[in-house]
Copies of this chain bind each other. A is one copy, B any other.
Amino acid sequence: MQSIKVKSPATLSNLCCGFDILGMALNEPYDIIELIKKEETGIRIQHLDAYNLPLDPQQNIAGVALQAMMTALDYKQGFDLIIEKKIKPGSGIGSSAASAAGIVVAANELLGKPFNKQQLISFAMEGEVLASGSRHADNLAPCIYGGLVLIRDTPTLDIIELKTPPLFITIVHPQIEIKTSYAREILPKEILLKSAVIQWANVAGLVAGFLHADYKLISRSLQDVIVEPVRSKLIPGFNEVKHNCMNAGALGGGISGSGPSLFMLSENESTAILVENEMKAVYDKLGIDYKTYISTVAQHGVEVVI
């Protein structure tokens, strides 16, 4: 096999109370990444989108992730990368993870699967470090495993796959910029123990809600008393979007990753569409450009196409 093309999904991370530990793969949107073996050494990158991402492999998220894998393999040849990003960088729905995870899964397939999923995450993490300076796997793990995953322990990559009942995810991406590093800086270093107990009670309820397919419990547990109160101030319209979407029947939701995208979970598609309309109405009124998506949970992560 000389070349391969994969689809790499957007991902939700955090899911309200599950800050830094939960992530979910989405069927929409996704990037398309093509990888072609070449005889000469080195990584050559071509973009089929308008985001002006770096072409220097050492400055490119997919480039550094692929290089980490090539180094581990002591691989001597090179690759051409053709990347079509449909997940806008900085949107908060795992754009950098889709680049990094997509490329390492593609390369692993092309080279006869020398690595397991955990190893692929550790290569892809080099891309996340380049993107945000932190080694986190809450977008990479769902991007590679698919579905909903718990990252119980990041250093050892203890990844637990969790089943969910059918869910419809509505996302709105208001076109404002929030740096992941800034969204992290503004978080408190210390929190009240009593707030932490509320948070982990909701985390436990959310996990049980998913595994019991109990939508009402999912809804009651989708609360974040720690991160959302701080980060939501960075996102115009947050309170109104949340309030109106809940009134429209959403189970709950909040900030996707470190924002600015907001997500809402619904039990059925018709509610997800009502929720989308509420999101649009808020940003139309505010005069802020936006993009919306309605997605189901992607049961598989990065997938080979054709």
Contacts and interface: CB of A to CB of B under 8 A. Distances in A.
Interface of A: 17-22, 150-153, 158, 160, 162, 187-193, 196-197, 199-208, 211-212, 217, 220-221, 226
B226 A193 contact: yes
Contact of A199 (B151, B196, B205): B196
The 8 closest A-B pairs by CB, nearest first: A152-B205, A200-B200, A196-B196, A21-B201, A190-B190, A200-B203, A207-B207, A211-B211
A254 to B, nearest CB: 16
A189 to B, nearest CB: 6
**Chain A binding surface SS class:** mixed
Nearest to A199: B200
A304 to B, nearest CB: 29
Given A190-B192, A192-B190, A201 B17 contact: no
A196 B201 contact: no
Given A191-B190, A202-B152, A19 B197 contact: yes
Given A152-B221, A187-B193, A205 B160 contact: yes
Given A21-B200, A200-B17, A203-B204, A192 B193 contact: no
Contacts of A206: 204
A22 to B, nearest CB: 7
A18 B199 CA distance: 11
A208 B162 contact: yes
Contact of A220 (B18, B19, B152, B199): B152
Contacts of A162: 208
A152 B19 contact: no
A208 to B, nearest CB: 5
Contacts of A211: 207-208, 211-212
18 contacts: A17-B200, A19-B197, A20-B197, A21-B197, A22-B204, A150-B205, A152-B205, A158-B205, A160-B217, A162-B208, A189-B193, A190-B192, A196-B199, A196-B226, A199-B200, A200-B200, A204-B207, A207-B207
B208 A160 contact: yes
